Structure 1
Amino acid sequence: MRDFHAHTNYSDGEFLERMVRAAESAGLEGIGFTDHCTVSERARPAAERSVYGFNLDLTYERRRRAIETLRERERTSIDIYDGVEMDYDPRDEAAIRDFLETADFEYALGSVHAVDGKNVQVPSHFRGESDAHLNSIVDGYFDALVSLIESELFDVAAHVDLLERTPPLRGRATTDHYDRVARALADSRTVPEINAGRALAEMEVVHPGAAFLEILQEYDVAVTVGSDSHRPHEVGDRADFLEAFLERHDLEVVSPPGLRE
């Protein structure tokens, strides 16, 4: 079992070494650190970058040295991967491409977190809005997700139905949305992940949901896996969940393409 999506203190997670020790205790063979990074200079994402520290473009070399230090220690028993989770907006493709080429991570996750400047994980952004407006947000999310895949900038498309975490948006995606994404993935090097970031929370959301996953299987789309852990205590429980989930489903599980090239 390898976990290709986890966070550290280089964005909004716990100290790097503690996350490694938690992965070792969980019996993982490897863990990939994919701290958040936003390179957009527009006002809203730039403010989020400042407030939450999503600035791995400024700190990736320091984190890389820390990873190398841990890799060289004899008491570190698992593989540690040097990745990134990039916020994606089509308007930022040039800046994202330049940064990824410069930083040369082992692999890169791409994520759509916002539509029309609003984070799709924040319910208060959407309460009281009309059905027409909420449906347009869902359309915008999947437009951006397909653009992310077609850009070929990323090895992994993270939590591909993220808006299912948000009650006002949950259940509004259609088979047509899922089919469109599955077709794009089938034609791309990018793979989606089975993401357990909310699987053990009250809402029990696994990304992608059952209907979406079935369509991905119809297109023979392979998947990778990520716990989306931010704290040490999350790593083991989510790894156990993912292992059981994969056993229940007939899925082709692969490493992120960057690690296979």
Structure 2
Amino acid sequence: MLFDLHTHHDRCGHAIGKMEEYIKSGIDKGLHYIGISDHSPLFFHEDDRPFPRYSMAKSEFVHYVEEVLKLKEAYKGKIEVLLGVESDFYPHHLHLYTKEYEKYPFDYIIGSVHYVNGKSIFDKSRWDVLTEAQRIKEKEDYYQLIQESAKSGVFQILGHIDAMKGYYPAFSDIQTPIIDETLKIIGESGVSIEVNTSGKMKAVGGWYPSDDMLERAFYYNVDITFGSDSHNPERIGDDLFEVQKKLKQIGYKEMVYYVGQKRQTAPL
């Protein structure tokens, strides 16, 4: 069973290609399932679309869902199109986001932490002014948010759980026991993490999470799914077979995906 659950398209403002192009690419790559999971609007903001290159407008969200459902029907028999969304995790606004998601028949929701202490996780300038102790705290603040997202009950998948290393590879070298604590909580929560292959497009040059974290995730019985996090149709399914091979080496027997927010398994 081949699938890719983390994809974007031009509606979010920083990807290229129409939604249908991603679906056609999935067919060309031999996928059985493709999940459409563009960035959630900033529901809490007073403006409809405060940052056009970050996410879609609030008023566009219903049309996003309608387009996915239309394409789901149009491509039935060729590929299974799943309705997803990559949701920013803002603890103080979680109720508002949940209220919006309850309106629609999502197959799954990816919960991703993109901001920590008021800065993008990809803003590497934060590290220049921090002491060693402050770097540890910054990393722990990141994983505290991931723990909260795991325990929220809103998400089926947690997105790119070590993406803070994207433009700061030394992030992985910051030693703290919170990694094991977080993976234990994720394993107990029943949500999955993705192997997200978009890290290869950034300075770190590798997948999220690292092989070391995947091995520890296996120890804590964490379910694994797959997402290319493609912002270009050509990247659909990128490194999927390599990911499957690595997971087998670690000891995983299956990956998971979701239909109607119900966990499904795909043997490796």
- In the superposition, the TM-score normalised over structure 2's length comes to 0.85
SS of 1:205 mapped into structure 2: coil
Amino acid across the alignment from 1:167: Y
- State the match for 2:123 in structure 1: 122
Cα-to-partner distance string for 1:140-170 (whole Å, 9 max, x where unaligned): 1011110111111100011111112131752
* Residues 31, 75 of structure 1: alpha-carbon distance in 2 compared, 3 angstrom cutoff: closer
Q: 1:248 Cα shift?
A: 3.7
Pick the aligned partner of 1:256 from 248, 258, 262. 258
- Counterpart CA distance in 2 for 1:132 and 1:105 is 41
Amino acid across the alignment from 1:71: K
- Counterpart CA distance in 2 for 1:169 and 1:223 is 25
- Counterpart CA distance in 2 for 1:184 and 1:109 is 17
Amino acid across the alignment from 1:37: S
SS of 2:197 mapped into structure 1: strand
* Residues 244, 47 of structure 1: alpha-carbon distance in 2 compared, 3 angstrom cutoff: farther
Cα-to-partner distance string for 1:62-96 (whole Å, 9 max, x where unaligned): 12332233233368711111100111022122112
Q: How does 1:180-219 map to 2 (within 5 A)?
A: 180-199=181-200, 203-219=204-220
- Counterpart CA distance in 2 for 1:143 and 1:121 is 17
Cα-to-partner distance string for 1:174-220 (whole Å, 9 max, x where unaligned): 46122111111122131111111113656322121122112111112
Q: Which moved more, 1:57-66 or 1:147-156?
A: 57-66
Q: 1:116 Cα shift?
A: 0.9
- State the match for 1:23 in structure 2: 26
- State the match for 1:35 in structure 2: 38
Q: 1:115 Cα shift?
A: 0.7
Q: Is the 8 A contact 2:228 2:238 kept in 1?
A: no
Amino acid across the alignment from 2:127: F
- State the match for 1:61 in structure 2: 62
Q: Which moved more, 1:126-135 or 1:103-112?
A: 126-135
- Counterpart CA distance in 2 for 1:139 and 1:206 is 21
Q: Which moved more, 1:112-121 or 1:191-200?
A: 191-200
- Counterpart CA distance in 2 for 1:27 and 1:197 is 20
Q: Is the 8 A contact 1:70 1:76 kept in 2?
A: no
- State the match for 1:72 in structure 2: 73
* Residues 128, 76 of structure 1: alpha-carbon distance in 2 compared, 3 angstrom cutoff: farther
* Residues 5, 250 of structure 1: alpha-carbon distance in 2 compared, 3 angstrom cutoff: same
- Counterpart CA distance in 2 for 1:211 and 1:245 is 11
**Structure 2: 5+ residue stretches without partners:** none
Q: 1:132 Cα shift?
A: 2.7
SS of 1:171 mapped into structure 2: helix
Amino acid across the alignment from 2:255: V
* Residues 207, 72 of structure 1: alpha-carbon distance in 2 compared, 3 angstrom cutoff: same
* Residues 214, 48 of structure 1: alpha-carbon distance in 2 compared, 3 angstrom cutoff: farther
- State the match for 2:8 in structure 1: 7
Q: 1:253 Cα shift?
A: 0.9
| Identity %, equivalent residues | 23
SS of 1:50 mapped into structure 2: coil
- Counterpart CA distance in 2 for 1:240 and 1:210 is 15
**Structure 1: 5+ residue stretches without partners:** none
SS of 1:93 mapped into structure 2: helix
- Counterpart CA distance in 2 for 1:54 and 1:201 is 20
Q: 1:99 Cα shift?
A: 1.6
* Residues 236, 104 of structure 1: alpha-carbon distance in 2 compared, 3 angstrom cutoff: closer
- Counterpart CA distance in 2 for 1:198 and 1:76 is 32
